[in-house]
Amino acid sequence: MKRDVRILLLGEGRTPGLGAGGGAGRGSWGHRGRGEGPASLGLGRRALGRCADRSAPRSPGGKDVADPVSRGRRVPRGGKSRARPHPSVSLRRDLPPSRATGTPRLFQVPPRAEEITIPADVTPEKVPTHIVDYSEAEQTAEELQEEIDKANVVCVVYDVSEEATIEKIRTKWIPLVNGGTERGPRVPIILVGNKSDLRAGSSMEAVLPIMSQFPEIETCVECSAKNLRNISELFYYAQKAVLHPTAPLYDPEAKQLRPACVQALTRIFRLSDQDLDQALSDEELNAFQKSCFGHPLAPQALEDVKTVVCKNVAGGVREDRLTLDGFLFLNTLFIQRGRHETTWTILRRFGYGDTLELTLDYLAPPLHVPPGCSTELNHFGYQFVQRVFEKHDQDHDGSLSPVELDSFFSVFPAAPWGSQLPLEVPTEAGRLPLHGYLCQWTLVTYLDVRRCLEHLGYLGYPTLCERDSQAHAITVTREKRLDQEKGQTQRNVLLCKVVGARGVGKSAFLQAFLGRRLGVSVRVSLGEGAQLLPRPSPRRPRGKGLWAASRPVGFRRLPPPRQDRREFPEEPAVYAINTVQVNGQEKYLILCEVSADSLLAAAPDAACDVACLMFDGSDPGSFAFCASVYKRHYMDGQTPCLFVSSKADLPEGISPPGLSPAEFCRRHRLPAPAPFSCASPGKPSTAVFTRLAAMATFPWVPAHSPCGGSLSSAR
């Protein structure tokens, strides 16, 4: 929501300037009338009575306001409100000179006054309001145009007792305001009929054709400066036109919600439908109401809402539950009744801005991660993502099928996880179990916390958990230097880089970590295609399937950590993540397969919690590569290292001249090389992975301590 409001008044009459006597000053903003404002989903008795005949709603004060939405006109032409680069809303009032309309009486000040600011604490929206006067006698037409260009909403004043001033709305003032914006966004306009005390009837019948002709006209208010009647309402509606624009929400020609609004409300409905039965129960409606408006609906108000929906929409209520069609109709009705601030409250509560896209502040809240620190989901984050898993696990089998994953993906503009997912986390027969699901969240949080925050935002974490932002779900670990000084780490997620020459078995090592034997391919069932909410911006295409085997439209391979992007500009790093037990504590261990040549580059980044230097035990010549990497990157550092002899099921080869792997490790005070094979029957042994995790957790523990397990040397 914008932080400031400015108002511009144009009209027939001598330029009055601006004063406090016309009701715009302190103390005249408090009354908004019964049933006004975004207080509830409830329609109220008056609104229920108006539903059938679509009569125009009344002003906050209860009289003489014509709402063109109820007559099919409520939004600017072109469907866009006028955007301003300045973070303020401008409601400017410029009144060219004429004596006819009584604008001097509206404010009772000299021909031109200085800019007036109404403090936020006396406005209903708690937003500062700036009012700027314009005098044609003292200023030029160019200056007037500058004032119009700065304005966010324009109030055009006419004399209700003079038909000629009404006609000039059409012939003079509206062309002056929006004459150069035939194809672009138009400035919202409020019509102000002054001197209502001089006319027994209303001028609304004469004004309605103009409102029908110009969709940018938001509202018409009749007032009397003499009697101070509807003065505060005038500024209330001017504020409302800027802070809660109708244009992005509603198409007056089609008399229906715009597609972007439907998409946003559909996502909100899906997030609020906790049992995924495609309808909102009374409990879900009350939870939604409390989340958006701070209090539940009264039982009778809830029944009234469903009664109105049931009478107007076939299928809007099913088994006493509000369906998506009913939910959309309810918001359409709010807008048609002039209560579009209710819909805006809902949208903004779920992170949407004026363009009906999730805002950057919502998707990327501030989170400071100092150098040497890492990011993890905390117990609040794990609780939330597990609840999301349980919501979409409709058959309660502990895993997500392709169809259930489609349902999970439905609130994202594109599938959040790509085709590499089955190769990175444990899976079961083509399904994603809870364990693998939590591993994936842990991996994304560690490698790209900004992307994790975005994903949590799409899932509605701040709203559903009633937190300021999804940063509440993230823990930033202490600096690694402090862990090294203390000899152990408090981190629950550890990174191990797997380094080795080509062909030594690094990829098989990663798959063995996920419990897969050599030669066992990963087969994943494909979904019918996630029903994704299209993003208004074309930056990211829609997904076409789950773990697509062909070109994965809308899917992205998980990027490497920030430091690896420079290291491997052409070949992304490959990851695998699983849990291991270290002294009775569960740790997430991430294995990162490093390409053969990357660590020999000019400026590599070998940082990790533990390094796994892998060589082919049947080809001792491959050990030379590992030894070179160790001397170059790890020998003078504090990163624990473990040499792993792969293909231990094959006979050892003849060692070349020089130090053998075992002798090299003894000389450098390293643990003896650990044999490993993934070709044996059954699941591969996990001992080496536990050993790597223990070394990362206790990097300075001596060889045979209880914590270190079978570590064979102190460094």
pLDDT of 568 > 80? The answer is no
Instruction: Tell me, rounded to whole angstroms, the distance of Cα 433 from its chain centroid.
Output: 26
The predicted-structure confidence for 63-117, as pLDDT tens digits, reads as follows 444 443 333 333 333 333 333 333 344 444 444 434 445 544 454 556 666 778 8
Q: Is the pLDDT of residue 346 over 50?
A: yes
Q: Is the pLDDT of residue 594 over 70?
A: yes
H/E element, 207: helix 204-213
* Rounded Cα distance, 273 and 283, in Å: 10
**pTM, rounded to two decimals:** 0.78
Q: Which helix (H) or strand (E) holds 492?
A: none
As a whole number of angstroms, the distance between CA 610 and CA 607 comes to 9
- CA-to-CA separations, 277 to 253, 317, 329, in angstroms, rounded: 33, 13, 19
DSSP 8-class letter at 298: P
pLDDT at site 359: 96
| 550 or 345: which leads in pLDDT | 345
456: enclosing H helix or E strand: helix 449-458
For residue range 260-309, list pLDDT tens digits in order. Answer: 999 999 999 999 999 999 999 999 999 999 999 999 889 999 999 999 99
Distance CA 292, CA 269 (A): 13
Q: Which amino acid is at 415?
A: A
Distance (Å, whole) CA 539 – CA 657: 57
Q: Is residue 307 classed as helix, strand or coil in its secondary structure? A: helix
Residue 182: predicted pLDDT: 57
pLDDT of residue 137: 73
Q: For 638-670, write each residue's pLDDT tens digit.
A: 899 999 998 877 767 666 667 888 999 999 999
**Size of the chain, expressed as the number of residues it contains:** 715
Q: How far apart, in whole angstroms, are the C-alpha atoms of residue 246 and residue 442?
A: 41
3-state secondary structure of 579: strand
Residue 372: partners with Cβ closer than 8 Å, 6 or more residues away: 479, 480, 481
**Rounded Cα–Cα distance for residues 369 and 460 (Å):** 23
52/200 Cα distance (integer angstroms): 29
Cα separation of 242 and 491, whole Å? 48
Helix 379-392 / helix 449-458 crossing angle, nearest 10 deg: 50
Least confident of 138-142, 375-379, 706-710: 706-710
Q: Which domains does the chain have, with CATH numbers?
A: 5-247 (3.40.50.300), 256-357 (1.10.238.10)
| φ and ψ at residue 630, rounded to 5 degrees | -60, -45
497 vs 225: CA distance, rounded Å: 76
3-class secondary structure for 399-453?
EECHHHHHHHHCCCCCCCCCCCHHHHCCCECCEEEHHHHHHHHHHHHHHCHHHHH
Q: What is the DSSP letter of 172?
A: I
The pLDDT of residue 499 is above 80: yes
Note whether 155 and 92 are within 8 A (CB): no
pLDDT of residue 151: 86
**CA 277/CA 293 separation, integer angstroms:** 24
Which residues, at least 6 apart from 433, have a Cβ–Cβ distance to it below 8 Å? Answer: 398, 399, 400, 426, 427
What burial class does residue 571 get, using C-beta atoms within 10 Å of its C-beta: 0-12 exposed, 13-18 middle, 19+ buried? exposed
d(CA 637, CA 631): 10
Asked whether the predicted pLDDT for residue 385 surpasses 90, the reply is yes
Q: What is the pLDDT of residues 537-554, one digit of tens each?
A: 333 333 333 333 322 222
Angstrom distance (rounded) from CA 582 to CA 610: 14
| Helix count and strand count (H, E) for the chain | 25, 23
